[in-house]
Structure 1
Amino acid sequence: MAIKGSWYERDSRFIAAHHQPALLLDLALARDLDSHRLLRGSGLFHEDILGGQACISPQQFLQMIDNARRLLDADDSSFLFGQRLLPGHYGAASQALQQAGNLQQALELLVRLRALLSPLLAPRLLLDEQRAYVVWLDACGCGEQRRFLLEASMTALASCSRWLAGERLPWHFEFAHAQPRYIEQYWAHLGEDVAFARQVDVMSLPREYLTRPWPGASLTAGRVAEQQSLAQLQALGFSASLLDRLYAHLRSHIRQTPNLDSVAQAFGMSPATLKRKLGKHDSHFQEQLDLVRKHIALYLYRVKGYSNEEVAAYLQFNDSTNFRRSFKRWTGLSPSALRQLLG
């Protein structure tokens, strides 16, 4: 069955300028930066945000973030921005998140309403017998703004869950990028349970914390707010980005050895159109396929305890040498080196 039009793209204008972009603007204004400099190149003016009606695209938002990074020039900017993000003041979506009865409900809402609550990075929830994992994926081709957004998004979820739970939760944070020079900011805002160069951007905690009741929750009000949020998504015509939809499709069809032609057909477009759309997001099909293969391999190694042969077979590699070569291309590590890293 073709997947037609049920996504947003890098240039889709749907992000309310007076929501998350306004938070970034307020952070800049609090540090005495001129609003015109922050908004330069975004096609947006301060008066547009104050009007409460303007919507901008992910591309415009990313331009604002790029400006903020350069103008603020402070190691804590992303973390301070993250502290303001969730549950936020984004209408029904924020209200639904704020009234969640426990962490599991909050995480499921964050995933379901990600176009409203986290439009630039897509959270995905994975569970095993012991732990819950929130994996953060690039939704729009974030490029050089990816690290800023990862720092902000993980801070946002940790801060929000701490506030709603009434206690600090034992989150463990892993980042694919190398340890930055400003490690003290991670310790100050996330805690010391942080690891780098881990191939995937993920935060996790023991599964027992998922169902602990949260004080102050109003399930009825939360349910109404959730229904209002879903109606808002229906009016938009999408609930996820093109890259997000592509990731999910590749993941669910990975054992059928998907290729550009078959995936383009599933998305109701020509291979040339899919290539063009991925290029608009600074990506290409092989990069997206390799990302999914890497994430599945890491999951099978870490969570399922699969052997090299089992992982290779799952990913439809008949030649173990070819699998090891591909795995090193995805990760920069051999499977044995990865096992040592994961301990």
Structure 2
Amino acid sequence: MDETLLRSLTPSVLTVLVRRGADFAAAEDAVQDALIEAVRVWPADPPRDPKGWLVTVAWRRFLDATRADASRRRREDLADEEPVPGPAPGRDDTLQLYFLCAHPSLTPSSAVALTLRAVGGLTTRQIAQAYLVPEATMAQRISRAKRTLGGRRFDRPGDVATVLRVLYLVFNEGYSGDVDLAAEAIRLTRQVAALVDHPEVAGLLALMMLHHARRPARTAPDGSLVPLAEQDRSRWNSAAIAEGVAILQAALARDRLGEFQAQAAIAALHADAPTAEETDWVQIVEWYDELALLTDNPVVRLNRAVAVGEADGPRAGLAQLAALDGSLPRYTAVAAYLHERAGDRATAARLYAEAAHRASGIAERDHLTRQAARLNTLRGG
């Protein structure tokens, strides 16, 4: 059974049902039933037209369900439209499905969950495992999202920017359970890139490729975090870096700069440096300046303070940091790093300990705790 094929067909089958008039929630349930039936039947009797087979079975499941509910009389006319089994329509409405799953009426977490279920073809259990929540909790989240979208049709153009933000949220979840969400986000973004000719779509794909290329070096064998400057760069995926840089260069050549292209340019400069010491921090600061103009995001300015600290010295970085809100995520950790670079180990140790207390993840907390302990040991010695 080719699970990748099933997952790749899921969005197009779902969009066919919605185009024919099925409510999103009912259509999604019918498609899931068809996928289960495919897992049962295909190993012994694989279809010549997998998409056509799924469309036919899903549509029949939808009709069976609608005949049985209280709306039977209103929906019975749909029965007359049941297609004769055969090749599925060639039209690809996958992008419209992305738009629907990233609808602004949904919360970010609901949009991500629904995208993984409806477009990614993941089961509720897989999504729950990836987000480390009970399956029942995730099922409720997905059900609420589908109810929110009840009755909506593909009658308006969607917002590509919203779709990209949802995909970036998926990517940043990384890996947990048996689903690699970073790899899944890259797969889904490739789909969007094939449907939308826009440099920001390419920029997001390049950004994902460049970040994902460093993944093998991000953790030590014991699972602890390895900072960028200390990573073994020979473990970076050079093929993924080359692809990401090529995608980025083609996007930048169109002279329509956007947030994801600027972030990808920063990632490319890190990837291009043979060693941490050879990183072109001056150019990275310039890209952060561009990014700040595009987003006016305080987190961007926080990261820019780190880059200024590397390019112009830690005191310059601390001066940039002083102008920012101390409640920003990672602010205290950045302050600790810059104070250490400036030679103030006592302040740095105290700030690392404080940052560890505020850390949201276990790996980050442990890393910051080790940094504080290391500096306290040096001071004691």
TM-score for both structures, normalised by structure 1: 0.38
Larger radius of gyration between Structure 1 and Structure 2: 2
TM-score, normalised to structure 2, is 0.35
Say which structure is richer in helix: 2
Structure with larger RCO (C-alpha < 8 A, sep 6+):
1
